[in-house]
Amino acid sequence: MKCPACGQPLVVVERHGIEVDWCASPRCRGLWFDAGELNLLAEEAGHDLSPESLAHPAPDVRERPRRCPRCRKRMEKARIGAPGEQGVIVDRCRAHGLWLDAGELAAVMEVLGGAAEGATVRSFLGESFEHVSAQASDKTS
């Protein structure tokens, strides 16, 4: 699969049974979650990421639409968070999953559970991607 933001290949990263597709480009560092994968990560952090928290379309966002890396259809902008709150804007393909730009996952977890949850997710992801980066370096050496 290719990154919907920069077009680079996505790298599959698995940690604690949760798979995400990561853009390793230093300019990007976005994350693709297939349907249900973000819910697994939220559960790992002790939260229930209900469909209601992802059901807020964000039509007022002026960002350029991106294409789903699975089906190539345009994704919609969605707001994660309680209705009426600013929340976090992400890209959503209703059929296949969510795209989060660099830093948005920790922001989502902070919206759901506070700064401590964001720090937990950053730690989780940091360990995962340090491992992937090390593997990539070993392959190029």
| pLDDT tens, N- to C-terminus, the chain (141 residues) | 999 999 999 999 887 788 889 999 999 999 999 988 877 877 776 766 665 556 577 878 888 889 999 999 999 998 887 767 778 899 999 999 999 999 888 888 777 765 445 455 556 555 545 544 444 434 333
Q: State pTM to two decimals.
A: 0.78
3-state secondary structure of 98: strand
For strands 31-34 and 76-80, give the pairing.
unpaired
What are the beta bridge partners of residue 48? none
Model pLDDT, residue 139: 38
Model pLDDT, residue 140: 35
What are the beta bridge partners of residue 18? 15
d(CA 66, CA 102): 15
141 class by beta-carbon count within 10 Å (0-12 exposed, 13-18 middle, 19+ buried): exposed
